[in-house]
């Protein structure tokens, strides 16, 4: 039996990976918000309550919830794996070297496995490790308060990887603050008992030169994948994974590359466009030009494994109808397309829905205009509390990495 099985955005969700917000959130300070990709500082106790509520909604629908932190702990089952992971992680830190790097590694190895994972995710402050100043110029001159930066974006488990068919794409993250997140996925896939024996294929690994992130990848059907050309995902990476899928995966025959505006507000494709039902999609109208057009490039296999055939369309509904074999497409505009409500609710992830079955979606409660329209259009809309979760700039889809859906 395949450990990973994701052939659509809307198949009944059976198994998903989440990350419960932890001490990494409390290591946010105003001075380093921009560097760590946050606009505000959430209040952790309330944020955890909201996230626990999200997880319970999933469990109430018979969806198995797996936590990234637990999977990572279970993947490091012996001292060799622990040391290998610590070495790999610290090697990718931008400024640790020599004596200081050795002391940080020594500090981590003193903890139990779960605490090692928690410390690496949460960040290691300089005042937690006693490094003699006379032995380290770095320790003597470093003004940044962390030897290991906190990883507050980890609760957005969608981005470090994407399940496609029975395999996975492990992301080359664009921003330095998030780049090491996909290292957790790599170690889990290679070492966790759930994945180690079944050996799911890796369609793209995290060492690829150009960036690509899971939030830009939507599995529209068994044969069609949509990927956003976005602020975080490059055209080069889309070409690369398309060629890999056509050559190795067998079922994906079309990749729709959707060229969305490059801005923080439109960070990934799933912040402006998601699938709700067989022919229903949420969309933020601001991604379309004044004539209702957007560039969509349909990638198909070329004459060889190294070439592609590319068709250009300017109407996203035409591209979707053609690729998915549908007669009609129904778009539901965020905020009803209202000039004020649409951008306000898109900023709070009104378009970032998580479908857990055809026509059943999880949304943030704060996006009342969009949620009302969803219900009017026949969608079962499950709202979750979002006062603190939404401060990180990601919604229910961003916070979830499905690994198993019914076909």
pLDDT at 318: 94
Q: What's the pLDDT tens digit per position in 346-397?
A: 999 999 999 999 999 999 999 999 999 999 999 999 999 999 999 999 999 9
- How many whole angstroms separate alpha carbon 206 and alpha carbon 160? 9
Q: How far is residue 391's CA from residue 347's CA, in Å, rounded to a whole number?
A: 10
Half-sphere exposure (CA, 13 Å, Cβ side) for 338?
12
pLDDT at 100 over 90: no
Q: Calculate mean pLDDT across residues 51-64.
A: 98
Span 261-300, pLDDT tens digits: 887 778 899 999 999 999 999 999 999 988 889 999 999 9
pLDDT per residue as tens digits for the range 210-253: 999 999 999 999 999 999 999 999 999 999 999 999 999 889 99
Nearest to 43 by CA among 398, 391, 393, 350: 391
Average pLDDT, the chain: 94
The confidence score (pLDDT) of residue 105 equals 94
- pLDDT for 351: 94
Query: What pLDDT score does 253 carry?
Result: 95
Q: Are 341 and 374 in contact (CB under 8 A)?
A: no
CA dist 299 → 162, 171, 218, 256 (Å): 19, 20, 15, 6
Structure confidence at residue 137 as a pLDDT band (50, 70, 90) = confident
Q: Which residues contact 267 (CB under 8 A, 6 or more apart)?
A: 215, 230, 231, 232, 393
Q: Is 334 a catalytic residue?
A: no
Q: How far apart are CA 204 and CA 200, in angstroms?
A: 12
CB neighbour list of residue 58: distance below 8 Å, 6 or more residues apart: 13, 16, 18, 65, 356, 362, 400
Per-residue confidence (pLDDT) for residue 94, from 0 to 100: 73
What's the predicted TM-score (pTM) here? 0.95
Residue 110 corresponds to which tokens in the numbers above?
A: 């003193």
Query: Across residues 159-175, what is the average pLDDT?
Result: 96
383: left (phi over 0), alpha (psi -120 to 50) or beta: beta
Dihedral in degrees, nearest 10, Cα atoms 260, 265, 267, 268 = -60
Q: Say what the pLDDT of residue 18 is.
A: 98
DSSP 17-51: EE----HHHHT--GGGTTTTT-SS---HHHHHHHH
Annotated catalytic residue within 398, 399, 401, 403: 398
What one-character DSSP code corresponds to residue 206?
Answer: T
CA distance 275 to 282: 6
């Amino acid at each position: 039996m395949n450990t990973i099985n994701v052939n659509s955005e809307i198949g009944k969700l059976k198994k998903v990976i989440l990350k419960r917000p932890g001490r990494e959130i409390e290591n946010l300070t105003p001075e380093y918000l921009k560097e760590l990709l946050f606009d505000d500082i959430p209040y952790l106790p309330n944020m955890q309550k909201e996230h626990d509520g999200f997880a319970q909604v999933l469990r109430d629908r018979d969806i198995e919830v797996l936590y990234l932190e637990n999977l990572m702990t279970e993947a490091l089952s012996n001292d060799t794996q622990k040391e290998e992971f610590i070495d790999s992680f610290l090697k990718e830190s931008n400024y640790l070297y020599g004596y200081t790097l050795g002391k940080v590694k020594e500090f981590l190895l003193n903890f139990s496995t779960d605490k090692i994972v928690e410390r690496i995710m949460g960040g290691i402050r300089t005042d937690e490790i006693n490094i003699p100043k006379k032995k380290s110029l770095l320790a003597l001159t470093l003004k940044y308060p962390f030897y290991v930066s906190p990883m507050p974006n980890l609760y957005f488990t969608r981005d470090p990887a994407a399940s496609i068919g029975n395999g996975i794409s492990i992301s080359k993250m664009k921003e330095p603050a998030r780049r090491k997140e996909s290292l957790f996925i790599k170690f889990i896939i290679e070492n966790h008992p759930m994945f180690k024996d079944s050996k799911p294929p890796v369609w793209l690994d995290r060492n690829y030169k150009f960036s690509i992130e899971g939030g830009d990848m939507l599995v529209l059907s068994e044969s069609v994948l949509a990927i956003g050309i976005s602020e975080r995902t490059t055209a080069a990476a889309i070409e690369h994974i398309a060629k890999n899928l056509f050559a190795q995966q067998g079922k994906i025959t079309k990749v729709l590359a959707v060229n969305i505006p490059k801005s923080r507000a439109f960070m990934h494709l799933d912040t402006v466009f998601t699938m709700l039902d067989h022919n229903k999609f949420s969309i933020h109208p601001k991604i379309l030009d004044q004539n209702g057009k957007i560039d969509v490039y349909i990638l198909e296999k070329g004459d060889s494994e190294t070439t592609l055939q590319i068709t250009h369309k300017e109407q996203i509904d035409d591209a979707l109808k053609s690729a998915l074999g549908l007669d009609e497409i129904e778009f539901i505009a965020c905020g009803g397309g209202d000039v004020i409500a649409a951008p306000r609710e898109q900023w709070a992830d009104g378009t970032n829905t998580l479908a857990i079955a055809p026509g059943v979606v999880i949304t943030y409660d704060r996006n009342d205009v969009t949620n009302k329209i969803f219900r009017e259009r026949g969608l079962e809309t499950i709202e979750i509390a979002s006062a603190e979760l939404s401060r990180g700039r990601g919604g229910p889809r961003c916070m979830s990495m499905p690994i198993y859906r019914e076909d």
